[in-house]
A and B are shown apart, each in its own frame.
Chain A
């Protein structure tokens, strides 16, 4: 996603407006002259000012391109899919780590990412399993982090 400066400026301006409105009515329990809303309001003001300059510069630029353009890589469908796999993998882990356990989740994520990267399937499975076991050992055995076991609970070592 490639925003031109006018669009980016407007988005940031909206953000500064949101922050300002959210901090306007923060309670000031200790009745200080500058309560908890003071600093965020100053920041929102500065951010709004910078955003305005960016937007004005973007509007005056002649070679700015469309408001929201697409970078070169977005025309390559494979690249877009590979990119989306990253958040997909993280969200998959967040959703299923507790039920499937770390080892199964991690191996599954790695196998998919290796295969997409062009590794041969047998290699991918073997390396994924090995990498998952090494990372598991570092955190579970080395640092004592309680990683979830899931259905492999009976095998816990």
Chain B
């Protein structure tokens, strides 16, 4: 564990250097340079720090009842982490709700570990500095255990089918001062904002490429970001009010995108600009 941490810290330093070099490189080849930079970091990603912390948290007794997550059922049975993320979101009969990973973690923290609902969800995202999020670490660990597993989200349950339909509908929901919907930026091939390439999430290929590379360590923020964060920050830029952590809309959109990614091998935690 300590060696993993040292390695990751050393690489985070190297990373900052590479980032500066690639900015200095100039305009024409920016996309190529980013691709090279990702390649250079492929076998070392500061996300490992979050994964290691999350693994500790998963296995250690926590909360007022001092129990670990090893009785938490992510859909494949109590404590089974391997491959679980590739089948989420899913309908959980015990909660009578469709849940994504973050929602399920909160559920286990409340029902098994004895946290209050407010305590379980009070820090969904780290602030880029000293305040780190337990949820982000747990998500890093759990998702890392699906690396290489093919996405396989089932819509067999009617509640999943409904969540997917709601998510698809919300993807096209225009609102706010700017009339933006998810589809405004993610509905066509080969578009970009400034120099940032935008995935077309309405195609299978686009959804697969995007969904299987979250969560990700964001170099510009020094944090590991979850899919809940990705949606939260997209909506911020859409000029919408604040997306509530683990809200039904967040789960519906996640269901829509995760299902569209079916068949692709999950490949995260990744690293992004």
Partners in one complex: no
